[in-house]
Amino acid sequence: MGQGFAGRLVGSGAAHVVVIVLLIVGLPWLVPKPTEPQTISVEIVGDAGAPPPSTRPIPTPPKADKPPTPPKPRPKPPEPKPQPPEPKPPEAALAPKPAPDAVPPPPPKAKPKPKPKPKEPPKPDTEQEFGALLKNLAPDAAPGTRDSKGDNPSARAMDAGEMSALQAQLAQCWNVVAGARDAQTLAVEIEMTINADRTVAQAKIVDSARYGADPAFRAAADSAMRALRHPSCTPLDLPPEKYDAWKHITFVFDPKSLL
């Protein structure tokens, strides 16, 4: 009897396994959930679990600071890929217009960032803005790659090349507070939730107590934050098809080796 029962158990276990596999492969957004107990960043995982409503991680952006209201003065409608590597300040071009008048039209403040509400199209749009700066991104980011994949590439971890591309990108944006006393103790850890368009959705300095109490640490943490939000690092150099691998990242900005 023990044998038979055990057999059934195995069968049942296998069935569970199949279900689990299906869950993982078919519904990638569920995957992070198990993370909760495993990682430190309970809060972030929870946050991220909720908003992405569909199977695809694409439409997360609403989390950005602005309401998803369709920003009116759209720089340009979601154009196709052909990315004319515009200089840098595309906003600069249209900004002067709203500027001159004093009061009524504050809308320029409606940041173009949250606009990528739709989904795929915004990708090329952001690309255009920064294409000139982030040459590696353009090829990877071609929309559609995600859809065309049969397996769930979103669940794969970033490989070494992708990791070092991200590090290299941020190294350019991180302006180190040089010459600070005890620079070796100023490593800053930031837990970040990233939108599918590879912009910062939420960033949290882990050691918030020290941030409040230690001006040197606060300055170091601020400089790390500036790096993550720097125009040259927006969007972040991340493989678009591996969203699940990077939608939560813990960044450690460590100036130790720089002084």
Partner 1 sequence: MPGSTSPLSLIPKAFCSALCVVLCLLSAPAWAQTRVVISEGTMRPIPIAVAPFVAAPGQERLAQEVVQTITADLTGSGLFATVDPRAFLQDPASLAAQGPDFEQWRAVGAEALVTGQVDPAGRVAFRLWDVLGGQQLTGKVYAATAQNRRRVAHIAADVIYERLTGEAGYFDTRIVYVSETGPATRRVKRLAIMDQDGANGRTLTDGGAMVLTPRFSPNAQLIAYMSYETGQPQVFLYDLNTGRRELLGRFSGMTFAPRFAPDGRSVVMSLARAGNTDIYVMDLASRQPRRLTNEPSIETAPSFSPDGRFVTFESDRSGGQQIYVMPTAGGPAKRITFGQGRYATPVWSPRGDLIAFTRLYQGQFYLGVIKPDGSGERLITQAWHVEGPTWAPNGRRIAYFKERRAGQGARLYTIDITGHGERALSTPTGASDPAWSPPGSQR
Considering only residues 26 to 85 of the shown chain, the ones binding partner 1 according to CB under 8 A are 28, 31-32, 34-35, 38-41, 65
CA nearest 192: which of 218, 229, 217, 160? 229
- Concatenate the DSSP letters of all residues of 182-211 into one string: TGGG--EEEEEEE-TTSSEEEEEES-HHHH
Alpha carbon distance 242, 31 (integer Å): 13
Residues 190-249 touching partner 1, rule: CB under 8 A, are 214-220, 222-227, 229-231, 244-246, 248-249
Q: How far is the CB of 253 from partner 1 (least distance, A)?
A: 5
Stretch that binds partner 1, among 1-9, 117-125, 130-138, 141-149 (CB under 8 A): 1-9
Residues 113-152 touching partner 1, rule: CB under 8 A, are none
Residues 6-25 touching partner 1, rule: CB under 8 A, are 6, 9-10, 13-14, 16-17, 20-21, 24-25
Residues 88-107 touching partner 1, rule: CB under 8 A, are 89, 91-92, 95-96, 98-103, 106
Rounded to the nearest 5°, which phi and psi values hold at 203?
A: -135, 135
Which residues touch 224 (CB under 8 Å, ≥6 apart)? 174, 188, 190, 251, 253
Q: Give residue 144's region: left, alpha or beta (phi > 0; psi -120 to 50).
A: left
Residues 155-184 touching partner 1, rule: CB under 8 A, are 155-158, 163, 166-168, 170-172, 174-182
